[in-house]
Amino acid sequence: MKKIAVFTSGGDSPGMNACIRAVVRTAIFNGVEVMGICRGYEGMIDGDFIEMNTSSVGNIIQRGGTILKSARSERFRTPEGRKKAFENLKANNIDGVIVIGGDGSFSGASVFNKEYHIPFVGCPGTIDNDLYGTDFTIGYDTAINTVMEAVDKIRDTADSHNRLFFIEVMGRDAGFIALRSGIAVGAEAILIPETKTHIEDLISILEKGRERKKSGSIIIVAEGDDAGGAFEVAKRVKERYNFYDTRTTVLGHIQRGGSPTAADRLLASRLGNKAVETLLSGDHNLMVGQSGKEIVFVPFEKATKHHQEVDRSLLDLAMILSS
């Protein structure tokens, strides 16, 4: 390969810039030219390509978001959109592509590869940590640390005013952010999509805390919990249990931004480097991930069609420590 491209797609996540940096500098180290595609698949269709060099990625490892911007593309779902994207890749003499994103980004790459045989390798960039085959995704560690810092501040108010806080975190389909951050902040209960929420059980937990004269309580709610978001859960609890002054906070997109943690910078650097080496070796249509301390390779279809399971031992730990 003489020239490759890199782009970020889907929701942004802290560490994407560190991954872009690793891709660009690894490619140049191996004598390969690099183009950046701005705005994901949308930019691929529009021909929004830029040349990248070592200086292009200087002083970005500590920055959140993505310098290449990101977007969701309905046009790429159409044969016409993918044909235009292919024409732009060939016009720019692109031999292979690195995609940094989540399951939607990898599904698109898999379809595109089957139609036009352009080699793709993916780096898992999503705060949700829901991709099968990798222990952690780029941005997840930063997101849970952001939640932890925010909830630590909220607990000061909860304790000072004897309040019950319902705090909603991201996780429409998966509770990985809620589970780990909930344990880290000592939440009294953690509600996630993977388990059924029983309001009676939640009230029982709060009652035990009140009997111990607990001064404030924190309930972490993943937005996709089956009982509803934080506002709905708080409403249902308050209707039957009004001993606390109740408040609800939705952390929202604060979880996506910010400077990536050391763990995310290192993960992004390792995966970006290995993605280029994998592409140059002739392997493609797969995601580069990390399992334990080892780099692993997972076919796109397996990474997107299999669901990453939550660690049941963490659910047990959360229950024990909140009792």
Residues with active-site annotation: 128
Residue corresponding to tokens 């200087």: 58
Cα–Cα distance, 283 to 278 (Å, whole number): 6
In degrees and rounded to multiples of 5, residue 126 shows phi and psi of: -165, 140
314: how many CB neighbours lie within 10 A of its CB? 16
Within 8 A by CB and 6+ apart from 108, the residues are 9, 41, 73, 76, 77
> What letter would DSSP give residue 232?
H
Distance CA 141, CA 127 (A): 8
What is the per-residue DSSP string for 242-302? -SSEEEEEE-GGGGT-SPPPHHHHHHHHHHHHHHHHHHHHT--SEEEEEETTEEEEEEHHH
- Given a contact cutoff of 8 angstroms between Cβ atoms, the answer to whether 112 and 85 are in contact is yes
Residues 144, 88: Cα–Cα separation, whole Å: 38
Query: What is the crossing angle of helices 230-240 and 199-211, to 10°?
Result: 60
